[in-house]
Amino acid sequence: MIPVITIDGPVSSGKGTVARRVATGLGWHLLDSGALYRVLGLHAERRGVALDDEMRLVDLAEQLPVEFREGGNDTAVLLDGEDVGQIIREERVGELASQVAVLQPVRDALFARQRAFAQRPGLVADGRDMGTVVFRDAPLKIFLTASAEERARRRLGQLKEKGFDANLATLIEDIRTRDERDMQRAVAPLKPAPDAVEIDSTELSVDQVVERILDEAGARSLT
Ligand code: C5P
């Protein structure tokens, strides 16, 4: 059994940062499943495939020429050999991702690819349905939340750091729309697994959240 820690939660809940820190702390692999959906959305756009053309999207998902190269602080994301790490973080691409992600056959097409990330000594998987669908058998599942306002503030900080322009009110609105779509969709809706540990990070630092998760992992003899 390869141990897996799943970290699910809404957009900008801090999953990405926390998942990377936990993976680095344990020396485990990392799966950023959102990046897969983002790359697929971008690939579809570039190939001129409509976001509701299920059959062609499934084809693209099955053949997706994506490669993740794990580095210390970062993972390079290559699409057809091109580094798209920066582009896929744009809000526009998040929107594309969220649209292709509502299609069950597309999710099925990405399922095996995600499972394949479970390699020794262990995996930290971040996304929306890691604990409920993809790694239902994981020994530790985290559901990370924070208020929409706090998440928008964090997102604004990240965007500004990267030199993108953004506006807080618009970001709050975008986050609410995306939450709504992710939670209301018929397939793999965003929700905590029944056996998930819920952590509200509105008032917590990244360090505190990471510590809490490592404690939970220790309590399950995963470390
Ligand atoms: O986590 P991130 O913001 O990168 O994800 C982008 C979009 O991909 C999400 O809004 C969601 O619709 C979709 N997604 C998903 N299932 C996952 C990860 C992401 O549906 N496991």
The angle subtended at Cα 39 by Cα 154 and Cα 190, nearest 5°, is 55
Percent of the chain with pLDDT strictly greater than 70: 100
Which strand (E) or helix (H) includes residue 212?
Answer: helix 206-219
* 4-218: CATH number: 3.40.50.300
Domain boundaries in the chain? 4-218
Asked if pLDDT for residue 72 goes beyond 80, the answer is no
Q: Which residues are annotated as a binding site?
A: 9-17
Q: What is the pLDDT at residue 101?
A: 93
Q: How far apart are CA 66 and CA 86, in angstroms?
A: 14
Cβ of residue 151 lying under 6 Å from some atom of ligand 1: no
Tell me how far the alpha carbon of residue 75 is from its chain's centroid. 13
Compute, in angstroms, the gap from residue 58 CA to the centroid of ligand 1: 17
Residues of each annotated binding site for ATP:
9-17
For residue 103, the model assigns a pLDDT of 95
pLDDT at 223: 87
Indicate if the pLDDT at residue 73 is higher than 90.
no
State the closest ligand 1 atom to the C-alpha of 88, by its place in the atom list counted from 1.
4
Nearby residues of 71 by Cβ (< 8 Å), 6 or more positions away = none
Q: What is the pLDDT of residue 159?
A: 85
Ligand 1 centroid distance, CA of 26 (Å): 24
Q: What are the tens digits of pLDDT across the range 154-168?
A: 989 988 988 888 899
151, two tokens: 């998440």
Residue 178: what pLDDT? 84
Question: Which residue's CA is the closest to the ligand 1 atom numbered 3?
Answer: 11
8 vs 11, residue with greater confidence: 8
pTM exceeds 0.85: yes
- pLDDT tens string 83-131: 999 999 888 999 899 899 999 999 999 999 999 999 999 999 999 999 9
Q: Which pLDDT belongs to residue 164?
A: 83
What is the Cα–Cα distance from 103 to 157, expressed in whole angstroms? 31
Q: What is the distance in A from the centroid of ligand 1 to the CA of 24?
A: 22
Give 27: exposed, middle or buried? Use CB within 10 Å, 0-12, 13-18, 19+: exposed
Q: Whose CA is nearest to atom 1 of ligand 1?
A: 34
Work out the mean pLDDT of the chain and round it to a whole number.
95
